[in-house]
């Protein structure tokens, strides 16, 4: 199997069809029975090129005498892959990166591709990026490969310096974080088990049940044995903020793929009741299979729209997880396609989120706790939505919390990738007081 050729096919397919790269990669690995080394290279090439696409295109356009529109997608993706290897992958010899890329081209385009890649070797120092002071938006866009619309949005919200720190953090390879299933094994024993297999593993500094791993295939981490599941530290902190206890009735309003339901069940020692809902019935099989694998028996699933009131659930729950659909502008390190979404596409989300929050609040008992969360950094989906809710619901108040040494402010906490080394994530803890 020529892994570079396969990577090229996936890049062409994902850009033409708009398919998410992680799905395409998973399917390709299974279909072609790739070993660990080839799977790793495939992931690096596909994710890397998608992540750095705007930067690579800027360089290609700087080196090419052809107008950008005259370079067909297949050739552009070959050039992107070649440049990505030259710039970002120091373990691949430059001659190999160039020769393998040229070999992927049809005969008529090989001279052009060879010239572009060798020109980069000779003239890389002469390529001038936009000036940070004169053109801050274009500088961020080209340097970190984010569209100008998103750069403008983040500069407006956070200011230039913080926006640059956020974008830089999103360009770093994220570690894999696991949530240990302490129904089956202690966190310390789990780490020892991984270390004994020569897996680079260490306890999370933020979550008492989290373990960070690197350099090993997921298949070797104990997931199939039900000893753990993949869950970012920010998501783990969200579950811990809920404070679920044995015997609680818990509703997870938008539950798929289920990690928060699983975490709550483990905190409850698998005693009590968790009802996990999602709009899409076909996705709930992920929750059911995951719970079975982990040995969790207190989760039941049901397809429903979180905005539609169910009278049977009024004042039903002790705890509610309200992790609403969001723009995803906090998980761009793990899902590189999200960075190319126009922020305007997400303008309708705050109202949907607000409607789900208002409806979910009706299911909470007096004295109960609801945690509202998103995996985005946009204020209109986060604190502004919570403030709007509190203004209209005088029977709710925020509750401050401190988890992993990080304290909320007015019951709200925003985690960001450069300060906390987590996904960009928002958590608000609310209590029904009457």
Question: What CA–CA distance (Å, rounded) separates 166 from 161?
Answer: 9
Reported residue count of the chain is 434
What does the alpha-carbon distance between residue 47 and residue 70 come to, in Å, rounded to a whole number? 25
Q: Where are the extended beta strands (E) located within 15-69?
A: none
Q: Helix, strand or coil for residue 362?
A: coil
Residue identified by tokens 């696991």 is 178
> Rounded distance, CA 222 to CA 228, Å?
6
d(CA 162, CA 167): 9
CA count, 13 A, side-chain hemisphere, 416: 16
Cβ atoms 256, 283 nearer than 8 A: yes
Distance CA 98, CA 82 (A): 6
What order of strands is seen across the sheet that includes strand 200-203?
200-203, 210-214, 176-180, 228-230
Contacts of 211 (CB under 8 A, 6+ apart): 177, 178, 180, 187, 190, 191, 194, 201, 202, 203, 204, 228
- From the list 79, 2, 102, the residue with the least C-alpha distance to 42 is 2
For strands 200-203 and 210-214, give the pairing. antiparallel
Look up residue 115 and give its two tokens. Answer: 């010239």
> Per the residue annotation, which of 171, 254, 322, 375 is the catalytic one?
375
171 a catalytic residue: no
Q: How many CB atoms lie within 10 A of CB 408?
A: 18
What 3-state class would DSSP assign to 89? coil
Q: What tokens appear for 294 in the block?
A: 């982990």
CA 296 to CA 162: how far, in whole Å? 41
Q: Which residues are known to be catalytic?
A: 375
């Amino acid at each position: 199997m020529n892994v570079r050729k396969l990577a090229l096919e996936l890049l062409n397919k994902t850009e033409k069809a708009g398919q998410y790269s992680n799905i395409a990669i998973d399917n390709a690995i299974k279909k072609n029975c790739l070993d660990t080394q080839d799977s790793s290279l495939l992931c690096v090439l596909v994710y890397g090129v998608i992540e750095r696409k705007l930067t690579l295109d800027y360089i290609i356009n700087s080196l090419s005498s052809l107008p950008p529109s005259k370079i067909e997608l297949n050739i552009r993706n070959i050039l992107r892959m070649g440049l990505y290897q030259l710039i970002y992958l120091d373990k691949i010899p430059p001659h190999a990166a160039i020769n393998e890329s040229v070999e992927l081209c049809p005969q008529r385009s090989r001279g052009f591709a060879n010239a572009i890649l060798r020109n980069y070797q000779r003239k890389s120092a002469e390529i001038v990026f936009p000036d940070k002071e004169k053109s801050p938006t274009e500088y961020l866009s080209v340097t970190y490969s984010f569209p100008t619309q998103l750069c403008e949005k983040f500069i407006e919200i956070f200011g230039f310096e913080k926006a640059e720190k956020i974008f830089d953090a999103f360009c770093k390879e994220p570690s894999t974080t696991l949530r240990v299933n302490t129904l089956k094994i202690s966190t310390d024993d789990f780490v020892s088990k991984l270390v004994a297999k020569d897996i680079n593993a260490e306890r999370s500094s933020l979550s008492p049940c989290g373990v960070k791993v690197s350099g090993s295939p997921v298949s070797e981490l104990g997931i199939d044995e039900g000893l753990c599941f993949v869950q970012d530290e920010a998501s783990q902190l969200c579950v811990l903020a809920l404070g679920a206890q044995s015997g609680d009735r818990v509703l997870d309003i938008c539950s798929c793929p289920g990690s928060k339901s699983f975490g709550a069940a483990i905190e409850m020692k698998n005693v009590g009741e968790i009802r996990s809902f999602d709009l899409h019935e076909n996705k709930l099989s992920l929750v059911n299979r995951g719970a079975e694998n982990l040995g969790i028996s207190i989760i039941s699933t049901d397809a429903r729209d979180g905005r539609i009131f169910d009278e049977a659930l009024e004042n039903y729950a002790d705890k509610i997880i309200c992790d609403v659909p969001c723009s995803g502008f906090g998980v761009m390190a793990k899902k590189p396609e999200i960075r190319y979404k126009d922020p305007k596409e997400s303008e309708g989300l705050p109202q949907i989120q607000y409607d789900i929050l208002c409806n979910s609040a009706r299911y909470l008992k007096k004295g109960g706790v609801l945690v509202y969360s998103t995996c985005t950094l946009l204020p209109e989906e986060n604190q502004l939505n919570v403030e709007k809710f509190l203004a209209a619901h005088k029977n709710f108040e925020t509750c401050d919390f401190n988890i992993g040494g990080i304290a909320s402010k007015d019951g709200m906490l925003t985690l960001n990738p450069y300060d906390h080394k987590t996904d960009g994530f928002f958590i608000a803890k609310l209590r029904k007081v009457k």
